[in-house]
Amino acid sequence: MFNLVTGPDGTMVMDSAGNLYGTTLGGGNLATVCSSNDDGCGTVFEYTTAGKESVLYKFCPDPAAKCPDGVGPSGVLVRDASGNLYGTTVGGGAHGDGTVFKVTTSGEETVLYSFCAKKNCTDGYGPMGGLALDATTGMLYGTTITGGAGVCGQVTTGGGTLFEITISGTKFKVLHSFGTYAADGCEPYGGPTLDSKGNIYGTTLAGGESNAFGTVYEYSASGTESILYSFPLNDGENGVLPTDALIDSTGTLYGTTSGAGADNDGIVFKLIP
Protein backbone atom coordinates (compact mmCIF):
# COMPACT_ATOMS: atom_id res chain seq x y z
CA MET A 1 0.00 0.00 0.00
CA PHE A 2 2.81 2.42 0.79
CA ASN A 3 4.20 2.07 -2.73
CA LEU A 4 1.03 3.49 -4.27
CA VAL A 5 1.67 6.22 -6.85
CA THR A 6 -1.28 8.43 -7.70
CA GLY A 7 -2.26 11.77 -9.17
CA PRO A 8 0.28 12.78 -11.84
CA ASP A 9 -0.08 16.58 -11.90
CA GLY A 10 2.87 17.90 -13.87
CA THR A 11 4.69 17.91 -17.20
CA MET A 12 7.19 15.09 -17.73
CA VAL A 13 10.72 15.48 -19.08
CA MET A 14 12.53 13.04 -21.40
CA ASP A 15 16.20 12.06 -21.45
CA SER A 16 18.27 11.35 -24.58
CA ALA A 17 17.42 7.64 -24.41
CA GLY A 18 13.68 8.30 -24.40
CA ASN A 19 13.04 7.56 -20.72
CA LEU A 20 10.40 9.77 -19.08
CA TYR A 21 10.50 11.41 -15.65
CA GLY A 22 7.61 13.02 -13.79
CA THR A 23 5.90 13.63 -10.49
CA THR A 24 2.71 12.58 -8.74
CA LEU A 25 0.89 14.92 -6.39
CA GLY A 26 0.01 12.06 -4.06
CA GLY A 27 0.93 8.48 -3.38
CA GLY A 28 4.26 7.24 -2.11
CA ASN A 29 4.47 7.59 1.67
CA LEU A 30 0.90 7.71 2.95
CA ALA A 31 0.52 10.02 5.93
CA THR A 32 -2.25 12.21 7.33
CA VAL A 33 0.26 15.03 7.68
CA CYS A 34 0.16 15.31 3.88
CA SER A 35 -3.60 14.97 3.37
CA SER A 36 -6.64 14.30 5.50
CA ASN A 37 -7.53 11.13 3.60
CA ASP A 38 -4.08 9.50 3.41
CA ASP A 39 -3.64 10.13 -0.32
CA GLY A 40 0.10 10.38 0.17
CA CYS A 41 2.85 12.96 -0.03
CA GLY A 42 3.92 12.60 -3.65
CA THR A 43 6.67 10.99 -5.71
CA VAL A 44 9.22 11.49 -8.46
CA PHE A 45 9.08 8.58 -10.92
CA GLU A 46 10.80 7.18 -14.00
CA TYR A 47 9.10 5.41 -16.92
CA THR A 48 11.57 3.62 -19.18
CA THR A 49 11.38 2.91 -22.90
CA ALA A 50 10.86 -0.73 -21.95
CA GLY A 51 7.59 0.23 -20.25
CA LYS A 52 8.81 -0.15 -16.67
CA GLU A 53 7.80 2.40 -14.03
CA SER A 54 9.83 2.93 -10.87
CA VAL A 55 9.73 5.48 -8.06
CA LEU A 56 12.94 7.47 -7.68
CA TYR A 57 11.84 9.34 -4.56
CA LYS A 58 8.89 9.35 -2.14
CA PHE A 59 8.34 12.59 -0.25
CA CYS A 60 7.99 12.82 3.52
CA PRO A 61 9.71 9.57 4.59
CA ASP A 62 9.31 10.66 8.24
CA PRO A 63 5.90 12.31 8.83
CA ALA A 64 6.86 13.10 12.41
CA ALA A 65 9.45 15.53 11.02
CA LYS A 66 6.65 17.49 9.26
CA CYS A 67 8.02 16.85 5.78
CA PRO A 68 11.03 19.20 5.50
CA ASP A 69 11.75 17.61 2.10
CA GLY A 70 8.45 18.86 0.66
CA VAL A 71 4.89 17.68 0.00
CA GLY A 72 2.88 17.54 -3.23
CA PRO A 73 5.23 17.94 -6.21
CA SER A 74 3.46 19.47 -9.21
CA GLY A 75 4.11 21.47 -12.34
CA VAL A 76 6.93 21.24 -14.87
CA LEU A 77 9.89 18.99 -14.03
CA VAL A 78 13.25 19.87 -15.64
CA ARG A 79 16.48 17.93 -16.10
CA ASP A 80 20.10 19.08 -16.38
CA ALA A 81 22.90 17.59 -18.51
CA SER A 82 23.96 15.32 -15.65
CA GLY A 83 20.50 13.81 -15.34
CA ASN A 84 19.52 15.59 -12.12
CA LEU A 85 15.83 16.48 -11.85
CA TYR A 86 14.47 19.77 -10.47
CA GLY A 87 10.94 20.69 -9.46
CA THR A 88 8.70 22.31 -6.87
CA THR A 89 6.39 21.09 -4.11
CA VAL A 90 3.34 23.10 -3.14
CA GLY A 91 3.78 22.31 0.58
CA GLY A 92 6.28 21.06 3.09
CA GLY A 93 9.78 22.38 3.52
CA ALA A 94 11.31 24.12 6.52
CA HIS A 95 8.33 26.49 6.84
CA GLY A 96 5.55 24.30 5.43
CA ASP A 97 4.95 26.53 2.40
CA GLY A 98 6.65 24.72 -0.45
CA THR A 99 10.08 23.96 -1.82
CA VAL A 100 12.39 23.88 -4.81
CA PHE A 101 13.98 20.42 -4.87
CA LYS A 102 16.61 18.38 -6.68
CA VAL A 103 16.54 14.59 -7.18
CA THR A 104 19.62 12.79 -8.51
CA THR A 105 19.62 9.78 -10.84
CA SER A 106 20.23 7.58 -7.78
CA GLY A 107 17.13 8.97 -6.03
CA GLU A 108 18.79 11.30 -3.53
CA GLU A 109 16.66 14.38 -2.78
CA THR A 110 17.94 17.82 -1.74
CA VAL A 111 15.86 20.87 -0.86
CA LEU A 112 17.34 23.87 -2.64
CA TYR A 113 14.93 26.41 -1.11
CA SER A 114 12.07 26.47 1.40
CA PHE A 115 9.52 29.22 0.82
CA CYS A 116 8.23 31.76 3.35
CA ALA A 117 11.72 32.11 4.76
CA LYS A 118 11.27 35.90 4.85
CA LYS A 119 8.97 38.00 6.99
CA ASN A 120 5.39 38.11 5.66
CA CYS A 121 6.45 35.57 3.00
CA THR A 122 7.79 38.26 0.68
CA ASP A 123 9.75 35.47 -1.03
CA GLY A 124 6.41 33.82 -1.90
CA TYR A 125 4.78 30.53 -1.01
CA GLY A 126 2.86 27.75 -2.73
CA PRO A 127 4.84 27.10 -5.94
CA MET A 128 2.57 25.06 -8.23
CA GLY A 129 3.84 25.58 -11.77
CA GLY A 130 7.21 23.87 -11.66
CA LEU A 131 10.37 25.27 -13.18
CA ALA A 132 12.16 26.39 -16.32
CA LEU A 133 15.91 25.81 -16.70
CA ASP A 134 18.46 27.95 -18.51
CA ALA A 135 21.04 25.28 -19.29
CA THR A 136 23.66 27.87 -20.24
CA THR A 137 23.61 29.83 -16.97
CA GLY A 138 22.48 27.02 -14.65
CA MET A 139 19.59 29.17 -13.43
CA LEU A 140 16.13 27.88 -12.53
CA TYR A 141 13.00 30.03 -12.82
CA GLY A 142 9.63 29.48 -11.19
CA THR A 143 6.54 31.09 -9.68
CA THR A 144 4.57 31.02 -6.44
CA ILE A 145 0.81 31.42 -6.56
CA THR A 146 0.73 33.71 -3.53
CA GLY A 147 3.02 35.63 -1.21
CA GLY A 148 5.41 38.34 -2.34
CA ALA A 149 5.36 42.08 -1.74
CA GLY A 150 2.40 42.87 -4.03
CA VAL A 151 -1.30 43.07 -3.18
CA CYS A 152 -3.95 41.42 -5.33
CA GLY A 153 -7.37 42.97 -4.83
CA GLN A 154 -8.84 41.81 -1.55
CA VAL A 155 -6.13 39.16 -1.12
CA THR A 156 -3.80 40.41 1.58
CA THR A 157 -1.38 37.48 1.41
CA GLY A 158 0.26 38.71 -1.79
CA GLY A 159 -0.27 38.21 -5.50
CA GLY A 160 2.51 35.69 -6.04
CA THR A 161 6.08 35.90 -7.26
CA LEU A 162 8.42 35.15 -10.14
CA PHE A 163 11.76 33.90 -8.80
CA GLU A 164 15.15 32.63 -9.88
CA ILE A 165 17.48 30.22 -8.12
CA THR A 166 20.77 28.60 -9.06
CA ILE A 167 20.83 24.82 -9.54
CA SER A 168 23.13 24.67 -6.51
CA GLY A 169 20.54 26.50 -4.42
CA THR A 170 23.11 29.02 -3.19
CA LYS A 171 21.43 32.09 -4.69
CA PHE A 172 17.70 32.87 -4.60
CA LYS A 173 16.04 36.08 -5.78
CA VAL A 174 12.50 37.33 -6.30
CA LEU A 175 12.42 38.93 -9.74
CA HIS A 176 8.86 40.26 -9.52
CA SER A 177 6.01 40.41 -7.02
CA PHE A 178 2.67 40.30 -8.80
CA GLY A 179 0.08 42.87 -7.82
CA THR A 180 2.61 45.71 -7.68
CA TYR A 181 0.54 47.98 -9.94
CA ALA A 182 -3.10 48.32 -10.95
CA ALA A 183 -3.15 46.24 -14.16
CA ASP A 184 -0.54 43.71 -13.04
CA GLY A 185 -1.40 40.03 -13.03
CA CYS A 186 -1.99 38.02 -9.86
CA GLU A 187 -1.66 34.39 -8.84
CA PRO A 188 0.70 32.81 -11.42
CA TYR A 189 -0.51 29.21 -11.38
CA GLY A 190 1.55 27.88 -14.28
CA GLY A 191 5.30 27.88 -14.57
CA PRO A 192 7.41 30.27 -16.66
CA THR A 193 8.80 29.78 -20.18
CA LEU A 194 12.14 31.08 -21.50
CA ASP A 195 12.98 32.22 -25.00
CA SER A 196 16.40 32.24 -26.66
CA LYS A 197 16.96 35.91 -25.78
CA GLY A 198 16.53 35.47 -22.02
CA ASN A 199 12.98 36.82 -21.81
CA ILE A 200 10.56 35.03 -19.48
CA TYR A 201 6.88 34.48 -20.24
CA GLY A 202 4.01 33.11 -18.20
CA THR A 203 0.37 33.44 -17.23
CA THR A 204 -1.52 34.57 -14.15
CA LEU A 205 -4.82 33.10 -13.05
CA ALA A 206 -6.21 36.52 -12.06
CA GLY A 207 -5.54 40.23 -12.45
CA GLY A 208 -4.98 42.35 -15.53
CA GLU A 209 -6.93 45.28 -16.92
CA SER A 210 -10.34 46.20 -15.49
CA ASN A 211 -12.69 43.19 -15.41
CA ALA A 212 -9.93 40.86 -16.61
CA PHE A 213 -9.61 37.24 -15.51
CA GLY A 214 -5.95 36.49 -16.02
CA THR A 215 -2.99 37.65 -18.05
CA VAL A 216 -0.01 36.71 -20.17
CA TYR A 217 3.07 38.49 -18.85
CA GLU A 218 6.64 39.07 -19.98
CA TYR A 219 9.66 39.58 -17.76
CA SER A 220 12.31 40.95 -20.11
CA ALA A 221 15.99 40.07 -20.08
CA SER A 222 16.59 43.66 -18.95
CA GLY A 223 14.48 43.09 -15.81
CA THR A 224 11.11 44.70 -16.60
CA GLU A 225 7.73 43.02 -16.14
CA SER A 226 4.85 43.93 -18.44
CA ILE A 227 1.43 42.52 -19.33
CA LEU A 228 1.16 41.35 -22.94
CA TYR A 229 -2.51 40.42 -22.79
CA SER A 230 -5.40 40.57 -20.32
CA PHE A 231 -8.23 38.05 -20.71
CA PRO A 232 -11.44 40.14 -20.52
CA LEU A 233 -14.42 38.64 -18.73
CA ASN A 234 -16.88 40.18 -21.22
CA ASP A 235 -15.15 38.56 -24.21
CA GLY A 236 -15.67 34.90 -23.42
CA GLU A 237 -14.55 33.65 -26.84
CA ASN A 238 -10.94 34.50 -25.95
CA GLY A 239 -11.03 32.50 -22.74
CA VAL A 240 -10.40 33.34 -19.09
CA LEU A 241 -8.36 31.91 -16.23
CA PRO A 242 -5.15 30.71 -17.95
CA THR A 243 -3.55 28.01 -15.82
CA ASP A 244 -0.88 26.09 -17.71
CA ALA A 245 2.69 26.95 -18.62
CA LEU A 246 3.15 28.46 -22.08
CA ILE A 247 4.92 26.76 -24.96
CA ASP A 248 7.36 28.84 -27.01
CA SER A 249 7.72 28.01 -30.70
CA THR A 250 9.98 30.32 -32.75
CA GLY A 251 8.76 33.42 -30.93
CA THR A 252 5.07 32.48 -30.76
CA LEU A 253 3.45 31.58 -27.45
CA TYR A 254 0.79 28.90 -27.05
CA GLY A 255 -1.31 28.21 -23.96
CA THR A 256 -4.69 27.22 -22.58
CA THR A 257 -7.40 28.72 -20.40
CA SER A 258 -9.57 26.79 -17.98
CA GLY A 259 -12.71 28.82 -18.65
CA ALA A 260 -14.85 30.58 -21.31
CA GLY A 261 -14.53 29.93 -25.02
CA ALA A 262 -17.29 28.91 -27.43
CA ASP A 263 -18.42 26.04 -25.20
CA ASN A 264 -17.41 27.70 -21.92
CA ASP A 265 -14.86 24.99 -21.18
CA GLY A 266 -11.63 26.78 -22.05
CA ILE A 267 -9.58 27.43 -25.18
CA VAL A 268 -6.18 26.94 -26.77
CA PHE A 269 -4.68 30.31 -27.68
CA LYS A 270 -1.77 31.72 -29.69
CA LEU A 271 -0.01 34.97 -28.85
CA ILE A 272 2.79 36.74 -30.68
CA PRO A 273 4.71 38.99 -28.22
pLDDT tens for each residue of 133-154: 999 999 999 999 999 999 887 6
Please answer whether residues 234 and 219 qualify as being in contact, where contact means their C-beta atoms are separated by less than 8 angstroms: no
Distance CA 237, CA 234 (A): 9
Section 250-272 average pLDDT: 82
pLDDT in tens, 21-66: 999 988 888 766 676 555 788 999 999 999 999 999 999 988 778 8
Confidence of residue 155 (pLDDT cuts 50, 70, 90): low
Please answer whether residues 145 and 127 qualify as being in contact, where contact means their C-beta atoms are separated by less than 8 angstroms: yes
pLDDT in tens, 12-23: 999 999 999 999
From 121, 26, 77, 1, select the one nearest 245 (Cα to Cα).
77
Give me the percent of the chain exceeding a pLDDT of 90: 60
Long-range contact set of residues 109-114: C-beta below 8 Å, sequence gap at least 24 = 109/44, 109/57, 109/59, 109/69, 110/169, 111/68, 111/69, 111/70, 111/169, 112/86, 112/140, 112/165, 112/167, 112/168, 112/169, 113/165, 113/169, 113/172, 114/68
Section 240-266 average pLDDT: 81
Neighbours of 179 (CB within 10 A): 25
Distance CA 192, CA 161 (A): 11
Section 169-197 average pLDDT: 93
119: helix, strand or coil: helix
> Mind listing the domains of the chain with CATH numbers?
115-271 (2.120.10.30)
pTM, rounded to two decimals: 0.92
